Chains A and B, each alone.
Chain A
């Protein structure tokens, strides 16, 4: 594309981002990202966690300033220092967590910040209500605009957000995973809205992890990986498998075990520990089934938003399922709180260390023994000697680097924090450990250590449910893999069937590649 004359490029495009970089504290989040969007084009954007999508969106919506690179929008050099500036210049963003105000009326949510006023600065409600109604009618939405927004469904709320964006004369609307909490009917409504926008000459940047949606709505798709734009493809000419492979950085022709991870060794597989059958919860999970046996690492794969974390939380009783059965050690269980689940022998390392893992102001020792503490007490008193013994043991055995057990955990690196959290559960001698993205945000060395530790634990008889967005981790680490897609289990792969190709295929299409599809998908 560098062969093209620059001015041509800019003229035929609404937006041109070239070589945009953005780093945080020296760590690049965007290293070389390009993006071109033509007027009235629906551009898909896809990439794994950490691929740089959200950084790119935030540069475009004015939340971040780029470090370097050029952005041309509407034939002008473009820069926005705040979401408001971006909005005024014609770039509006519909966030995943809808940034609207539920208590306020639909009209207000559309007009807040640039209210229509009459003489004396008083609000002209009649004009605003009429305007809101008119705007929404363009998308075939007819609701009482004076009702609080929270009374409407999520899809309608999204429509209101879009109407707000359009009312700012947006030329480009960025939608960040707009369908993540919509049901099928609502997705259809949204798709129609996107088409309506396109028909009116508005370009859309559509960020999603759902293959079907990308192929249904997008004119082109930009694929990002590791902070770089790696490809721009057309759905017509690229199949889903190829797309997923590009996104994950895999060469289709060369799918083999590269040995990039440190899961070495095999473990004895024992009796069934946990079985989950047909579990559903809200809009996130519709039918999840899986099982784990002693000494087995079970990988739970799927694209973002496929319900992996939700599955883990339901199993751990951090959230209640709407239906379905969970058996632990062969016995049907109805755990009511994590406390009970833990007592039964489960542990759960959550995906977000900061939000749900560490207690930042507490010491390494206290964080490590947080769950174990009830067993370290003598008549209510914390037995500090016993605690010290346990802590020293784990600091030694899994190599936690800290100045002392009394150091505050927030001062540790991500990898060491993760090891402390792992140790928090290992100290409990659990039967089953649920690991949600155990190596996310951890440097390479620590990553390998944690991976080999997980295998060692399985060899010792522990059952592990491992959620990971990293394909090689799933493929090389798992003894069995369950693949989730849009809240349901669509495939189970046994040890022999596991391959990057099979996993990607299932993630992309909802079933495994023909050569691997000897087994039927569990219904």
Chain B
């Protein structure tokens, strides 16, 4: 049993996820030393709030990629979901949330049907759905943003803090002690980040502790073998697109709630952000091997790069414009895929 634990540790140590977490920590330390207010409650909470929707989209993408597929439609599906969520927001928090999730689910269903029934490559199928979702979003929104209702609690899904109702005044007092500030931060934990975290916990539970999760990895690892082992291959593939669609739906809800409007033209490039997060987090693009925690770390890392570039602009010797973020992200992706290819090459040869 002891050797088991050892090898487990060793595996953790060598895993790409571990590397991402280390880089994430190093960047955080770097940021906190270099920039004032980097770890301040305001910055941390706004970074978490803003990136939560990307993280949620990446979670769904992770499931799809683990089966060896891809979902290019997540961005515009999130946009469409933000529109329906905004439209239903006057009927209450749950109505808005439900409408957004249902929209995402429906587009996920569309992907699943085109891919498993019509046998069209995921890449093309989700490309078409990407266009369809964008068109639907624009049609429903009449080509403009749709304001959400502020009469209901809907906006708290994007703007609210988790424990604001029990927040004592003294944590915000001038010159509050460090523990008080710390408590203040945790009480201010943004609701969207909480939702994302919850989704990731459920995702990790499903992947690691439910038969379905193992089937996802098995199908991605070797579809033929999975079929011969008697696994429900089609059902598994069907399901991951539903998951991805639903995640995009949730992200759309957060988007609408956070910015107070359904945004039919948002979501451009989200799919690539999500793919990059998944890959950086150590999930193999060919499927069969993946990590939920790594995906979360990957999404946070990509978000953090953006934040650091923002801060650097404020203080730095070199003025790195925000545009550098995509260059840096691309470089990141480059190194990760080249490393993945080298590693798998070595494995294949030995």
Judge whether B288 and A103 touch: CB under 8 Å.
Answer: yes
Give which listed residue, B7, B222, B289, contacts A144 with CB less than 8 A.
B7
Judge whether B214 and A83 touch: CB under 8 Å.
Answer: no
Give which listed residue, A99, A102, A123, contacts B211 with CB less than 8 A.
A123
Measured in the bound complex, the distance between the Cα atoms of B205 and A123 in whole Å is 10
Residue of A nearest to B227 (CB): A83
User: How many positions in chain A have a CB within 8 Å of any CB in the partner chain?
Assistant: 25
- Known A-B contacts A123-B209, A123-B210, A123-B211; the reply to A112 vs B231 at CB < 8 A is yes
Residue of B nearest to A149 (CB): B221
Judge whether B211 and A115 touch: CB under 8 Å.
Answer: yes
Q: Which of A56-92 contact B (CB under 8 A)?
A: 82-84, 87
Residues of A within 8 A of B208 (CB): 123
- Chain A CB within 8 A of B173 CB: no
Measured in the bound complex, the distance between the Cα atoms of B224 and A100 in whole Å is 9
- Known A-B contacts A84-B230, A99-B229, A123-B211; the reply to A144 vs B218 at CB < 8 A is no
Residues of B within 8 A of A127 (CB): none
Residue of A nearest to B7 (CB): A144
Judge whether A113 and B3 touch: CB under 8 Å.
Answer: no
- Chain B CB within 8 A of A101 CB: yes
Give which listed residue, B210, B226, B284, contacts A112 with CB less than 8 A.
B226
Judge whether B225 and A99 touch: CB under 8 Å.
Answer: yes
B interface secondary structure, majority: helix
Judge whether A121 and B218 touch: CB under 8 Å.
Answer: no
Judge whether B228 and A99 touch: CB under 8 Å.
Answer: yes
- Chain A CB within 8 A of B178 CB: no
Judge whether B347 and A150 touch: CB under 8 Å.
Answer: yes
Residue of A nearest to B286 (CB): A103
Judge whether A112 and B218 touch: CB under 8 Å.
Answer: yes
Residues of B within 8 A of A99 (CB): 222, 224-225, 228-229
Judge whether B8 and A103 touch: CB under 8 Å.
Answer: no
Report the number of A-B residue pairs with Cβ-Cβ less than 8 Å: 71
Name, among B215, B225, B231, the residue most crowded by chain A CB atoms within 10 Å (CB to CB).
B225
Give which listed residue, A102, A113, A122, A144, contacts B221 with CB less than 8 A.
A102
Measured in the bound complex, the distance between the Cα atoms of B227 and A102 in whole Å is 15
User: How many positions in chain B have a CB within 8 Å of any CB in the partner chain?
Assistant: 28
Measured in the bound complex, the distance between the Cα atoms of B229 and A84 in whole Å is 7
Q: Closest CB of chain A to B3's CB: distance in Å? A: 6
Judge whether A112 and B214 touch: CB under 8 Å.
Answer: yes
Residues of A within 8 A of B225 (CB): 99-101
- Chain A CB within 8 A of B321 CB: no
- Known A-B contacts A101-B218, A104-B221; the reply to A146 vs B7 at CB < 8 A is yes
Measured in the bound complex, the distance between the Cα atoms of B222 and A87 in whole Å is 19
Residues of B within 8 A of A84 (CB): 229-230
Judge whether A115 and B214 touch: CB under 8 Å.
Answer: yes
- Chain A CB within 8 A of B58 CB: no
Residue of B nearest to A88 (CB): B230
- Known A-B contacts A112-B226, A112-B229, A144-B7; the reply to A104 vs B211 at CB < 8 A is no
Q: Closest CB of chain B to A490's CB: distance in Å? A: 29
Residues of A within 8 A of B211 (CB): 115, 117, 121, 123
Judge whether A112 and B215 touch: CB under 8 Å.
Answer: yes
Residue of B nearest to A129 (CB): B4
Judge whether A83 and B228 touch: CB under 8 Å.
Answer: yes
Measured in the bound complex, the distance between the Cα atoms of B204 and A122 in whole Å is 12
Residues of A within 8 A of B227 (CB): 83
Residues of A within 8 A of B347 (CB): 150
Q: Closest CB of chain A to B71's CB: distance in Å? A: 21
- Chain A CB within 8 A of B217 CB: yes
Measured in the bound complex, the distance between the Cα atoms of B210 and A100 in whole Å is 20
Q: Closest CB of chain B to A230's CB: distance in Å? A: 30
Measured in the bound complex, the distance between the Cα atoms of B225 and A95 in whole Å is 10
A–B complex contacts, Cβ < 8 Å, 21 sampled? A82-B230, A83-B227, A83-B228, A87-B230, A99-B228, A101-B217, A101-B221, A101-B222, A104-B221, A112-B214, A112-B215, A112-B218, A112-B231, A117-B211, A123-B209, A123-B210, A123-B214, A144-B4, A146-B8, A147-B7, A150-B347
A interface residue numbers (CB < 8 A to B): 82-84, 87, 95, 99-104, 108, 112-113, 115, 117, 121-123, 125, 129, 144, 146-147, 150
B interface residue numbers (CB < 8 A to A): 3-4, 7-8, 11, 205, 208-211, 214-215, 217-218, 221-222, 224-231, 284, 288-289, 347
Beyond A83-B230, A84-B230, A112-B226, 9 additional pairs, beta carbon < 8 A:
A84-B229, A101-B226, A108-B217, A112-B214, A112-B229, A121-B210, A123-B209, A123-B211, A147-B7
List 3 tightest A-B contacts by C-beta distance, closest first.
A84-B230, A101-B221, A99-B225
